[in-house]
Structure 1
Amino acid sequence: MRPGVYPGNKRSMSMNEAVKKHWEAETCGVRYGASEDRGEWFREIERARYLCEPQILEFAEFKKFRAKRVLEIGVGAGTDFKNWVKNGAQATGIDLTSRGTALTKERLSLEGINPNRFNLCVADSERLPFKDGVFEMVYSWGVLHHTLNTGQAIKEAYRVLKPGGIIKAMVYHIPSWTGWLLWLRFCLFKLRPWISPRKAIYGHLESPGTKAYTLEEAKELFESARFQVIEIKTSLGPGDLLNIAFSRKYSGFIYKIIGLMYPRWLVRLFGNRFGLELLLQARK
């Protein structure tokens, strides 16, 4: 199987539409917002994000890119994007959904940030609406594995980067605890053990068609887009530790029991080796 090409990549646009519909309905992280006060609602989302995934702060290095042209692919509710702007980056953000860009604009407005300090637009990562060689850094956390043709999205990131520019991306990893959990729930328990954890992720993790990569596959995927990989490693994600608020899809009683009984100590004992999150940095 060629990197970035998975079952479904040659389907009609209905897959892309299904992905967009999913994230329009539940923008990443919004399930953590409970307050009726909009400012506090966004702060709840931010606190939960960095509590569940503290590795984001170390990986992103928000302060390092002050005055640099940064593109974020997939802004979601705007938590990371706000931090690019507040730390002085010349930030541009895209999202496949209009809700993502609207929430991000609202988030920055509530922070009192002048809209002239950033750019936001609805766009597809496979067809970035920017000229060649515009940005010094491209950042994407947990987004590229959702697009129909991940390889094409990575090539687009390469195109819009200046020579020497950096991409920082998190994509999903296998083998992972999350993959095995999904395999148990949707394959083994349904008497279909021959279905792989990769396919369980593809069919049941977040939006339809979610992809996951081994370290070797991810490295090859970025190198095939002409990137020079600088660093690649794995990290435990919220789905591995089940330290998350479950989505509506997993809101039943059985999932509450699983959450209470889950052996997080055992998962942590193995370190990051089987983490869902694959963190990669590469240079153009």
Structure 2
Amino acid sequence: MNTLKQEMKEFWGKGWGKRGQADKSVQSRERFLQELGAIRMLLEMEEGEQVREMQKIGLKGKAVLEIGCGAGSSSILFALDGAQVTASDLTDEAVAITKAKFDLLGLAGNAVQADAENLPFPDNSFDVVFSSGVLHHTPNTQKTIDEIRRVLKPGGNAVVMLYAKWSFQYLVSLLLMRGIIFGGIFRHGRNWLGHATELAWNTKEDRLNPMTKVYSGRQMRQLFKEFEIIGLRKHSFHWPDLFPGVYHIWKRRRVHLGDADVMSLSSFERVIGRFAGFALVIHARKLFK
């Protein structure tokens, strides 16, 4: 494993280790069952387009791979919806959290440690591959897309979210404010965007996020040039993006379930998100050849 990828594994591993310790839902089956409704709400709030695309596909009886499972919320819901789920993550910590949740609910899901650039699965193994907010953190994103294509069955579906370049959060909050005005570009050079994102994971005693990339719609289509593109949409805009630096004083209701704090969205934010959202979601299908 190269140095950058090792840094990534350590950074995210520490983060998931801490969040796993704070995630009380895994301590009892009854508590976790009570929170499943909130988990589904969390995903619909913050990952609306991804969830909708997965619902369109229909998961019952299908072999589903999640790349970058984190605390396992998506994989758990896919399994409850009838999918045969394999949850994978670069970090052992995230895999342990997800496996504990599968075991707690008596689900047959599988959780494995895996590098997205070198997936340990045979060709044509899965009906659906899902990845949300993960592959823009790996050095060779194109290789991960090629791996997705390899492990998908012909006609299989991929639903992937990457950060959007043409978004308010990137252009104003990140590039203009943190990159130029606050000097992140000049202090950190080519890795400035990694250090400016995933701030909830950064602590004074731990290293900063090693890598983040952003993509335009055109670049996303190029990544998936060997696929049939079913849909490409944006979402995820929050009004504090208009005022960089005040996000922490937002007083809306939050949901925390071992993944992240999630804020409810207004109608205004949902509309703006379609044009200037930070999440760029593609639904693509592996061609029959």
TM-score, length-scaled by structure 2: 0.75
Count of residue pairs the alignment pairs up: 253
Measure the CA separation in 1 of the matches of 2:281 and 2:181. 31
Measure the CA separation in 2 of the matches of 1:209 and 1:280. 21
Alignment of 1:154-193 (within 5 A): 154-179=145-170, 180-190=172-182
Q: Report how far residue 22 of structure 1 moved.
A: 1.8
2:11 aligned residue: 22
Q: Report how far residue 137 of structure 1 moved.
A: 0.9
State whether residues 191 and 210 of structure 2, in contact with CA within 8 Å, keep that contact through their aligned partners in structure 1. no
1:49 aligned residue: 42
RMSD: 3.5
1:274 aligned residue: 276
Measure the CA separation in 1 of the matches of 2:139 and 2:145. 12
Which amino acid in structure 1 is aligned with residue 236 of structure 2?
L
Change (3 A) 1:275 1:106: same
Measure the CA separation in 2 of the matches of 1:233 and 1:167. 14
TM-score, length-scaled by structure 1: 0.76
1:256 aligned residue: 248
Measure the CA separation in 2 of the matches of 1:203 and 1:85. 34
Percent of pairs with identical residues: 31
Measure the CA separation in 2 of the matches of 1:154 and 1:199. 22
Q: Report how far residue 112 of structure 1 moved.
A: 2.8
Measure the CA separation in 2 of the matches of 1:29 and 1:58. 30
Which amino acid in structure 2 is aligned with residue 163 of structure 1?
P
State whether residues 174 and 274 of structure 1, in contact with CA within 8 Å, keep that contact through their aligned partners in structure 2. no
Structure 2: 5+ residue stretches without partners: 199-208, 252-265
Measure the CA separation in 1 of the matches of 2:6 and 2:77. 29
Change (3 A) 1:25 1:235: same
Q: Report how far residue 51 of structure 1 moved.
A: 5.9
Q: Which of these residues, 113, 123, 128, is aligned with residue 119 of structure 2?
A: 128
Which amino acid in structure 2 is aligned with residue 188 of structure 1?
I
- Secondary structure at the counterpart of residue 27 of structure 1: helix
- Secondary structure at the counterpart of residue 26 of structure 1: helix
Which amino acid in structure 1 is aligned with residue 96 of structure 2?
A
Change (3 A) 1:90 1:35: closer
Q: Aligned pair 1:152/2:146, yes or no? A: no
Which amino acid in structure 2 is aligned with residue 171 of structure 1?
L
Measure the CA separation in 1 of the matches of 2:247 and 2:40. 23
Measure the CA separation in 2 of the matches of 1:28 and 1:144. 20
- Secondary structure at the counterpart of residue 279 of structure 1: strand
State whether residues 34 and 41 of structure 1, in contact with CA within 8 Å, keep that contact through their aligned partners in structure 2. no
Change (3 A) 1:143 1:100: same
Alignment of 1:1-284 (within 5 A): 13-27=2-16, 30=19, 35=24, 38-39=27-28, 40=31, 43=35, 46=39, 49-50=42-43, 52-53=45-46, 55=48, 56-61=50-55, 64-113=58-107, 117-179=108-170, 180-190=172-182, 201-206=193-198, 207-223=209-225, 226-237=226-237, 240-242=238-240, 256-257=248-249, 259=250, 270-284=272-286
1:4 aligned residue: none
Change (3 A) 1:219 1:98: same
Q: Report how far residue 34 of structure 1 moved.
A: 6.3
State whether residues 62 and 83 of structure 1, in contact with CA within 8 Å, keep that contact through their aligned partners in structure 2. no
Measure the CA separation in 1 of the matches of 2:5 and 2:185. 28
State whether residues 182 and 200 of structure 1, in contact with CA within 8 Å, keep that contact through their aligned partners in structure 2. no
State whether residues 28 and 76 of structure 1, in contact with CA within 8 Å, keep that contact through their aligned partners in structure 2. no
State whether residues 53 and 283 of structure 2, in contact with CA within 8 Å, keep that contact through their aligned partners in structure 1. no
